[in-house]
Structure 1
Amino acid sequence: MKKYLLILLSCLLAQVAMAQDVIVKINGDELMARVREITTTDIIYLSADTTDTLSYKLAKTEVFMVRFANGTKEVFTENLPAETVAKAPIADPAYMYQKGRQDARSYYNGTGALLGSAASVFLAGPVGPIIIGAVKPRARYNKALPAVSLQDPNYVKGYEKQAHNRKIGKAALGFGLGTGVGVLYLIMSVISPGK
């Protein structure tokens, strides 16, 4: 039994020793190697063809992808020419506008406008909520939105239109709440003056 386990262990170790990484260059050449380290500028590797331990360096700007022996890949898209990098597909403008409005309903809650308007009633009266409601929210500040959609001006226009409508509503609600709290405070101070 020990003999079979030793043979099995030897086969497994041989398989692990033969595992190789593949460095795919931008020009399409493939280099069999064992990658030791990927730095910000270089890929340091051992040649898979020889048994020496001499490390080699390859500039990352020459490499498209590293396919590791375990099946994972690391792709360096920054090294590709600009024409080959995928761009956002051009979609129907009306669809993208509606998609932007729909995403504004989902991703823009306007809580800041509500609370800011309620608080600004005490400091600036009705002018505070009016100013808060007049400032349009920008789509690029919402990190929850898909980056590809933000490249489409129709999507951005739809998002900002719907988000602004929602912000105006929240500012009006904040104005009402702030006014209500102020009136309630005045009534309470009149009913029970400085006990």
Structure 2
Amino acid sequence: MKKHLLILLSCLLAQVAMSQDVIVKINGEELKANVQEITTTDIIYLSADTTDTLNYSLAKTEVFMIRFANGTKEVFTENLPSETTNETTIVDPVMMYQKGRQDARLHYNGTGAMLGSAATVFLAGPVGPIIIGAVKPRARYNKALPAASLQDPNYVKGYEKQAHNRKIGKAAIGFGVGTGVGVLYLLLSVMSPGK
């Protein structure tokens, strides 16, 4: 009898150890976890892939559904796209192109292109700023842009055109600054008294 109870207890403990919840994120990624608590803003869980006892936290807005070990599910309907976003809407292509250009003026500053161009003048001469200016900025890398607008190719085209124009201008300024600093350094080194 003790042997049968021990086997039954071992099976139950193995079942409990193997049971786990699955957190399904909006992007489709699945996390094996043991959900500890669901708050109004977060889901607190233990990772099933590790043996550590640290609680992890995930924003509820990133979660589509939780499949619990007991077979039940909880779907977070507030994170589902609304039906209005699924409807096909007709948007004026010219208006979206102009909106993309306007957003590029607001959200793309090109400071990196200017600083990079100024620095590469010393390493590669004018080739560095030319290469930096030739690489077009991509709209999808700018997190400040609305995700719905990035689905419209006219918006993306307008944004990337205006951002590229600004990047070329900033690269030219960087080339001028880098060249000016180089000439100033050369003049100061020539004019300084010899040792």
Q: TM-score, normalised by structure 1?
A: 0.61
Deviation for aligned residue 1:59: 1.5
Residue of structure 2 equivalent to 1:113: 113
CA distance in 1, matches of 2:190, 2:76: 76
Change (3 A) 1:76 1:146: closer
Q: Which residue of 2 aligns with 1:157?
A: 157
C-alpha separation in 2, matches of 1:85 and 1:42: 27
Do residues 141 (structure 1) and 166 (structure 2) align?
no
Cα offset, 1:91, TM superposition:
1.2
1:100–1:178 distance in 2 versus 1, CA, 3 Å: same
**Per-residue CA shift, 1:24-73, capped at 9, x if unaligned?**
xxxxxxxxxxxx955762479xxxxxxxxxxx86313xx464xxxxxxxx
Q: How does 1:63-78 map to 2 (within 5 A)?
A: 63=75, 65=77, 75-77=78-80
Secondary structure, counterpart of 1:41 in structure 2: strand
| CA radius of gyration, larger in | 1
Match of 1:86 in 2: 85
Percent identical among aligned pairs is 72
CA distance in 1, matches of 2:155, 2:138: 12
Once residues 134 and 169 of structure 2 are traced to their aligned partners in structure 1, the CA distance between those partners, rounded to angstroms, is 11
Q: Secondary structure at the match of 2:90?
A: coil
Question: Under a length normalisation based on structure 2, what TM-score does the superposition of the two structures give?
Answer: 0.61
CA distance in 2: counterparts of 1:158 and 1:187, whole angstroms = 44
Structure 2: runs of 5 or more not aligned: 1-35, 44-64
Q: CA deviation at 1:193?
A: 4.0
State whether residues 121 and 129 of structure 1, in contact with CA within 8 Å, keep that contact through their aligned partners in structure 2: yes
Q: 1:76 to 1:163 in 2, by over 3 A?
A: closer
Q: Which residue of 1 is the match for residue 6 of structure 2? A: none
Alignment-derived partner of residue 41 in structure 1: 66
What is the aligned partner in structure 2 of residue 29 from structure 1? none
> For residues 37 and 90 of structure 1, do their structure 2 counterparts lie closer, same or farther at Cα, with a shift above 3 Å needed?
farther
Q: How many angstroms apart in 2 are the aligned matches of 1:194 and 1:57?
A: 84
Task: Tell me how far apart the structure 2 counterparts of residues 147 and 128 of structure 1 sit (CA, whole Å).
Answer: 33
